[in-house]
């Protein structure tokens, strides 16, 4: 293996379902169910103004395919050259993720080349996990071209009677076409998990012989998640920068998981970065879990903010508890 073999982003893409609900749209919808909330509460506590929800017949794989097609077009890839599809998701098309949604995506993309395909389950840290997995495959010389996708339909696991969670999440997909290159590339990544904290953000229900035992909706202890997220994001940012032998001031853009503007502001402040070096999409997308980082990355690139040659720090955190960060040169 050549020492100069990097995994480099050749293209990005993203997709949001057509249905956009402003906070007020959601407030009105919830009021009909007797659930009280307000645009002001949602905006002040989370920074969210709107989110997109998938249509009833739209699956995670459908969102993912649209994002992937955008990334493939940008990268000018021949579909048959794709050797691996990695999908980060916690809302797979099928119960238990069986078959993997990555296999469904392969079929829906019309790929008949037998490329490998699998899902990664690390909730909101999923894209960081998927990207560093793809990086490792490329560095090892096993593959040249990998589609890395984050896609979710969290609206399907929201309890619209639980105002503490249902106002925060949305649906969407983002994708990266990652290819082997002698130019940098992903420079370093760091992944962590703490399973002892699994109950603070989870879907407690289980499939049982044709039924579901327990709650089939997302449950979150928001304050515990908030505190832990702020702590581990700072730690992992410093860790990954150290691995890449870089200082925070060398980072042009922070592309954080889009869960809460206050968490993003806290992370940026601790890194000594001003908010005009942070890509923010949470106001329009809400929290799209594994899709949030690639959605924000694609937005940053397509809006002209992120430019070739710039250094980017991506970081995600969520259920598991799992978290991770990646530093790359775009």
Binding status of residue 118 toward ligand UT7 by CB under 6 A: no
**212 token code pair:** 């579901």
113 versus 223: smaller Cβ distance to ligand UT7: 223
In the set 82, 157, 229, 326, which binds ligand UT7 (CB under 6 A)? 229
State how far the Cα of 271 lies from the Cα of 28, in Å rounded to an integer. Answer: 39
State how far the Cα of 273 lies from the Cα of 248, in Å rounded to an integer. Answer: 8
245 as an active site residue: the answer is no
In the set 12, 46, 60, 155, which binds ligand UT7 (CB under 6 A)? 46
12 versus 165: smaller Cβ distance to ligand UT7: 165
Contact range with ligand UT7 by CB under 6 A, out of 65-73, 74-82, 152-160, 163-171: 163-171
Cis check: omega of the bond before 99, within 30 degrees of 0: yes
Three-class SS state of 52:
strand
Binding status of residue 151 toward ligand UT7 by CB under 6 A: no
DSSP state of 127: H
Binding mask 65-104 for ligand UT7 (x = CB under 6 A): ----------------------------------------
Residues in the chain: 330
Determine contact, residues 149/173, Cβ cutoff 8 Å.
yes
Binding status of residue 225 toward ligand UT7 by CB under 6 A: yes
- Considering the candidates 124, 166, 299, 311, report the single residue annotated as catalytic: 124
124 as an active site residue: the answer is yes
48 versus 102: smaller Cβ distance to ligand UT7: 48
State how far the Cα of 118 lies from the Cα of 88, in Å rounded to an integer. Answer: 9
3-state SS of 268-319? HHHCCCCHHHECCCHHHHCECHHHHHHHHHHHHHHCCCCCCCCEEEEEEEEC
The most distant pair of C-alpha atoms in the chain lies apart, rounded to whole Å, by 62
120 beta partners = 88
State how far the Cα of 74 lies from the Cα of 267, in Å rounded to an integer. Answer: 31
State how far the Cα of 86 lies from the Cα of 100, in Å rounded to an integer. Answer: 10
In the set 5, 20, 45, 302, which binds ligand UT7 (CB under 6 A)? 45
User: Cβ 41 to ligand UT7, closest distance in Å?
Assistant: 4
- Considering the candidates 257, 285, 299, 311, report the single residue annotated as catalytic: 257
Contact range with ligand UT7 by CB under 6 A, out of 39-47, 63-71, 81-89, 208-216: 39-47
Binding mask 261-280 for ligand UT7 (x = CB under 6 A): --x-----------------
DSSP state of 34: T
In the set 13, 318, 320, 324, which binds ligand UT7 (CB under 6 A)? 318
Contacting positions for ligand UT7 (CB under 6 A): 37, 41, 45-46, 124, 163-164, 167, 201, 222-223, 225-226, 229, 259-260, 263, 287, 317-318
């Amino acid at each position: 293996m050549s020492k100069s073999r990097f995994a480099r982003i050749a293209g990005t893409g993203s997709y949001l379902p057509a249905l956009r609900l402003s906070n007020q749209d959601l407030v009105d919808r919830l009021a009909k169910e007797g659930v009280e909330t307000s645009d002001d509460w949602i905006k002040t506590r989370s920074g969210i103004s709107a989110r997109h929800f998938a249509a009833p017949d739209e699956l995670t794989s459908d969102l993912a395919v649209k994002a992937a097609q955008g990334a493939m077009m940008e990268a000018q890839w021949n579909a048959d050259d794709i050797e691996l599809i990695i999908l980060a998701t916690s809302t797979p098309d099928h119960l238990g993720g069986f078959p993997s949604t990555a296999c469904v995506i392969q079929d829906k993309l019309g790929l008949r080349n037998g490329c490998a395909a699998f899902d990664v389950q690390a909730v909101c840290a999923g894209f960081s996990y998927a990207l560093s997995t793809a990086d490792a495959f490329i560095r090892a010389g096993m593959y040249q071209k990998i589609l890395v996708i984050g896609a979710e339909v969290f609206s399907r696991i929201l309890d619209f009677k639980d105002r503490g969670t249902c106002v925060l999440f949305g649906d969407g997909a983002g994708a990266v076409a990652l290819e082997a290159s002698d130019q940098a590339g992903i420079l370093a990544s760091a992944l962590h998990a703490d399973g002892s904290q699994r109950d603070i953000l989870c879907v407690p229900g289980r499939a049982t012989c044709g039924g579901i035992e327990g709650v089939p909706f997302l449950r979150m202890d928001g304050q515990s998640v908030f505190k832990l997220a702020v702590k581990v994001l700072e730690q992992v940012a410093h860790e990954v920068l150290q691995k890449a032998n870089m200082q925070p001031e060398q980072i042009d853009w922070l592309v954080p998981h889009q869960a809460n503007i206050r968490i993003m502001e806290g992370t940026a402040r601790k890194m000594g970065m001003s908010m005009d070096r942070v890509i923010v999409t949470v106001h329009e997308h809400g929290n799209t879990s594994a899709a949030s980082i690639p959605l924000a990355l694609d937005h940053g690139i397509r809006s002209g903010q992120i430019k070739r040659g710039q250094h980017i720090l991506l970081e995600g955190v969520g259920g598991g508890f799992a978290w991770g960060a990646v530093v790359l040169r775009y």
